[in-house]
Chains A and B, each alone.
Chain A
Amino acid sequence: KAGVTQTPRYLIKTRGQQVTLSCSPISGHRSVSWYQQTPGQGLQFLFEYFSETQRNKGNFPGRFSGRQFSNSRSEMNVSTLELGDSALYLCASSLAMGTEGNIQYFGAGTRLSVL
């Protein structure tokens, strides 16, 4: 079974631009969560989608948004990029069903550099 796939792996953008990151979950997984990893703040939760609906949201500004499609694939968008948005963005998927449904499996991440 294929794992969580994130594209692209690397991105370089300039301040003020916007960016879209993509995540394909493990087949059969219905929940997709996004996390930001930086040296200063560590791993922080951005948001979680289930059945095309955002169920949970972390403490990030409105410039960070996401969506989920009917096939459970998810995209994350960051508008008006700032230097501080440079980070590794990780996507995780889970079954969201039963006790085992709480286990999140991560992709390799997208490394975003904002210049």
Chain B
Amino acid sequence: AQSVTQLDSQVPVFEEAPVELRCNYSSSVSVYLFWYVQYPNQGLQLLLKYLSGSTLVKGINGFEAEFNKSQTSFHLRKPSVHISDTAEYFCAVSRNSGGATNKLIFGTGTLLAVQP
């Protein structure tokens, strides 16, 4: 079974400052990793994904994440945040079994609160 831990429930940060949202996972098998963002009263939007290859992945809106297999982490970073980045961010993992779609296991989410 897989599990995901997002240790920070809320991260306050000032506009234009850098930010890191932490995500650690546990799995006995190979996994795919994802970050989704949820704005108020909306669904989940895919920010970025790690499927294979380079461990540094870039996503939309200037976000990037690094897959660290030895530390079982997939932290999300942005060098300079904007007010519009205020949202809930979810880290998710699914079992790597080729082309079949496997269920996503989500972390509890981190609320990124950007202050002016």
Contacts and interface: CB of A to CB of B under 8 A. Distances in A.
A102 B46 contact: no
B17 interface: no
A42 B43 contact: no
Interface residues of B, number: 28
Interface in B55-89: none
A98 B96 CA distance: 11
A106 B36 contact: yes
Given A42-B109, A99-B52, A100-B51, A48 B43 contact: no
Contacts of A42: 106-109
Q: Is the interface of B mostly helix, strand, loop or mixed?
A: loop
A108 B43 contact: yes
Contact of A102 (B32, B36, B90): B32
Interface string B20-32: 0000000000001
Given A90-B44, A106-B36, A99 B51 contact: yes
In this complex, the interface size class of chain A, counting residues with CB under 8 Å from chain B, is: 20 to 34
B42 interface: yes
A48 B103 contact: yes
Contact of A35 (B52, B98, B102, B104): B104
B110 to A, nearest CB: 12
Interface string A1-38: 00010100000000000000000000000010101000
B115 interface: no
B98 A106 contact: no
A106 B39 CA distance: 13
Given A43-B90, A90-B43, A108-B43, A102 B51 contact: yes
Nearest to B53: A99
**Which 5 A-B pairs give the minimum distances between C-beta atoms?**
A43-B106, A45-B103, A106-B44, A31-B101, A106-B43
Interface of A: 4, 6, 31, 33, 35, 42-43, 45, 48, 50, 55-56, 58, 90, 92, 94, 96-109, 111
